[in-house]
Amino acid sequence: MHTPAPPDADRIARLLERHAEIELRPAQLRFERRDWRWLAFLPGSRALYVAQAPEGRAWLARERALLRALAPRLRVAVPQPLADDAFALGLDVRALVPGETMWGLRPEHRARVDAMTRFARALGTLAAELHGALPADALARLAGEPCPERWPPPLAYLRARVPGSLRAPSPRPGAAGRALERRMLAVIDRYERALDDARAADEALVHDDLGSHNLVFEPRSKRLVGVFDFAGAGWRDRHLDFKFLPSYGDALLETALTEYEARAGVRPSRARVRTYHAATAIAYLAWRVDDPVAHDRDSGRDFAGAVTWIEEAVTRALEVEERG
């Protein structure tokens, strides 16, 4: 697979100095590939995104417009687009929300019950505010095109990667693995029905990747203070923004959904949330089929961890009764 070369650091440094008033040495620009764009962290709690292709620049333009529209409408902070002159040249500079990410997933985090309860309520509040922030016509008027990536990815992609995904060496070889694959396909069928059954009333502006990897926390109090990465945001089923919640445990899931219902006036379907969660777990395994090194490096799970997640998520999705 061809890996594109990172941007020319010498050229980028000159352009940043001239058009963004940011002075740094080319060696300070350490680019990391993030899907369809390159990312480099800049001094002063800033970041630089550079699209790999022209369509990526349109996706960044739309995200910048969305961030500006959302900033006054959410209680938590979002990244601030900077240096419009530099963006005209393809350099997307943003001020980051200060804090830390990835809090709430580990057992030692969950032992802090008060902090986790505050997190759950804040997450329910954030989802309610986001889903009511912009009407569909306002979203459609934003400049640029939405990033077409979706998570979970298309149904055909998932179905094509389930057969044989648990082949040896596997934590669940043989008959156990084949049985789990059949249950995974059953969840994908349920996921397809859930997408088809979503009503217009279920649709809202969704972030589409609303998990602790895209949330910012105040380091000491663990208070939720920011959210980022709106590249995949769009007008879709609001339940997609709850697909990671079951990973934090049943108590947090229920607290967050209850808070959301109180603020948004909409009762989320627990069954649909479980279905989307299981489909997401399957999507991660499908990603591992394509690129096991990247999956294990970036997801925080190895093969055994991915299968354990699927077993639990699929079991809960298939057993839960519709109550929402």
Residue percentage of the chain with pLDDT more than 70: 96
The answer, yes or no, to whether residue 64 has pLDDT greater than 70, is: yes
**CATH superfamily placement of domain 107-319:** Aminoglycoside phosphotransferase (APH), C-terminal lobe (3.90.1200.10)
Residue 2 pLDDT class (50, 70, 90 cuts)? low
Tens digits of per-residue pLDDT, 105-130? 777 877 888 889 999 999 999 999 99
pLDDT tens by residue, 138-154: 998 887 667 888 788 89
Q: Is the pLDDT of residue 57 over 60?
A: yes
Cβ neighbours of residue 303 under 8 Å, at least 6 residues apart? 170, 171, 288, 292, 296
321: pLDDT strictly greater than 90: no
Task: Give yes or no for a contact between 209 and 149, defined as CB atoms under 8 angstroms apart.
Answer: no
Q: How many Cα atoms occupy the beta-carbon half-sphere of 48 within 13 Å?
A: 27
Q: Assess contact for 249 and 277: CB atoms under 8 A.
A: no
Provide CB contacts within 8 A for 295, sequence distance 6+. Answer: 284, 287, 288, 301, 306
Distances in Å between the Cα of 202 and the Cα atoms of 7, 177, 235, 281 are 41, 35, 10, 22
Average pLDDT, integer, range 43-65: 95
pLDDT at residue 44 is higher than 90: yes
Show me where the domains of the chain are located.
Answer: 9-95, 107-319
Summarize pLDDT for 301-318 with one digit per residue, the tens: 999 999 999 999 999 999
Q: Judge whether 9-95 and 107-319 match in fold.
A: no
Beta bridge partners of 203: 237
Name the one residue in this structure whose structure tokens are 């879709």: 236
Angle at 257 between CA 251 and CA 263, to 5 degrees: 135
The pLDDT value given to residue 111: 80
Superfamily classification of domain 9-95: Phosphorylase Kinase; domain 1 (3.30.200.20)
What tokens were used for 182? 């059949």
β-partners of residue 34 are 37
pLDDT exceeds 60 at position 295: yes
